[in-house]
Homo-oligomer: A and B are copies of this chain.
Amino acid sequence: MHKLRVAIVGASGYSGEELLRLLLAHPNLELTCITSRQEAGKPAGAVFPRYRECQLRFIQPDVDQIAAQADLAFLALPHGLANEYAAPLLQRGLKVIDISADFRLRSLEKYARYYQSEHPAPELLQEAVYGLPEYYRQDIRQARLVACPGCYPTSVLLPTLPLLKVALVETGGIEAFSMSGVTGAGRKLAAPFLFPECNESLRPYAITGHRHLPEIEQELALAAGVKELHINFLPHLVPVNRGIHSTILMQAKNEKAGEQALECLQQAYQNEPFVRVLGKGELADTKNVTMTNYCEIGCAYDPHTGKVILSSAVDNLSKGAAGQALQNLNIMAGWPEDCGLR
């Protein structure tokens, strides 16, 4: 069988490394090209000693070179570079799966507000598909350009969307408390991410305007069929390497609705390969999903306040980034969705 040739553009961060891990093990793919400005020239194993056996070398992120070597490119770049990579790669006939935030928001205004710069490629926004397979599978199948969801949004949307779609819960007063491992911050050389600063530290950050907030609100509003919807999204940094846990509160429409929530989730996801809805009384634990592409979801109803309490766990680098990106690729290529992901 002819293998699909893929490139990772911006492969020297944690998401890039996780993509490397997954793509090297995928039976239908040939990873032909990994780029990195600062690591160009070095073999993969010199940057990621885990993958010492990998023969690839980092190259400079030159669009023509990438296009010459690959049929599809994963972009694991900072946001804001869409016109430098996504646009020209599409033009050269590649498909693009973007792990950055450039094509997640439908509103140019919100992009500009939350990312503090004009959108780099507004002409592509229309065609970009939000890469949450459980909700956009049909569109992903045809897509040339997929915008992979953020790690936090993945952990918040999967447990909440089914309940909003069937209106078991109110659209107001949704609160999402999330905890993330430190790889979520990327491989950033900044004092707050040094080991002694993170270890034995529990801290919130960006509690009133995290960049994942408008992304979450956009998808919640779409599911609820409302124009706009506001939530509190409260991210916390905690001393683990991998994993995001979200606990989400939603007001049940009424007691009966609250008690139906768990069953609603179980039905919604019964055929999904990567969503595990836990049994009654069970709660999500990141430990059970790290290094996998699963999202684990627990659901309880609290009659004392009328809230549905959701707990979800994903690996921020896998289902929250590289794993989901590969799941999207499998869909685009018409392969089994879990190919290379077990």
A302 to B204, CA, bound (A): 15
Interface size on A, residues (CB 8 A): 70
A179 located at the interface, meaning its Cβ lies under 8 Å from any Cβ of chain B in the complex: yes
In A170-198, the 8 Å CB interface with B consists of 173, 175, 177, 179, 181-183, 187-191, 193-198
A15 located at the interface, meaning its Cβ lies under 8 Å from any Cβ of chain B in the complex: no
A209 to B302, CA, bound (A): 9
Of the 9-residue stretches A93-101, A139-147, A156-164, A227-235, which lies at the interface with chain B?
A: A227-235
Contact A240 B179 (CB under 8 A): no
Q: Out of B200, B243, B244, B276, name the residue touching A241 (CB < 8 Å).
A: B200
A119 located at the interface, meaning its Cβ lies under 8 Å from any Cβ of chain B in the complex: no
Which chain B positions have C-beta within 8 A of A53? 276
Q: Mark A268-305, 1 if CB is under 8 A from B, else 0.
A: 00000000100000011111111110000010101011
Determine the residue in chain B with the shortest Cβ distance to A290: B200
Nearest-Cβ distance from residue A177 to partner chain B, whole angstroms:
4
Which chain B positions have C-beta within 8 A of A240? 199-202, 238-239
Contact A199 B25 (CB under 8 A): no
A5 located at the interface, meaning its Cβ lies under 8 Å from any Cβ of chain B in the complex: no
Q: Mark A195-217, 1 if CB is under 8 A from B, else 0.
A: 11111111111011100000000
Which chain B positions have C-beta within 8 A of A209? 304
In A238-254, the 8 Å CB interface with B consists of 238-245, 247, 249
A49 to B240, CA, bound (A): 19
A298 to B236, CA, bound (A): 14
Contact A287 B197 (CB under 8 A): yes
Contact B202 A200 (CB under 8 A): no
Contact B239 A203 (CB under 8 A): no
A307 located at the interface, meaning its Cβ lies under 8 Å from any Cβ of chain B in the complex: yes
Q: Sample 23 A-B pairs with CB under 8 A, ordered by A number.
A: A50-B287, A50-B289, A53-B276, A175-B175, A177-B234, A179-B236, A181-B196, A182-B194, A183-B196, A188-B194, A193-B195, A195-B197, A195-B199, A200-B290, A202-B287, A202-B313, A203-B286, A204-B247, A232-B249, A232-B302, A234-B247, A234-B309, A291-B291
What are the nearest 6 A-B pairs in CB distance?
A201-B287, A177-B177, A203-B285, A195-B198, A202-B245, A182-B195
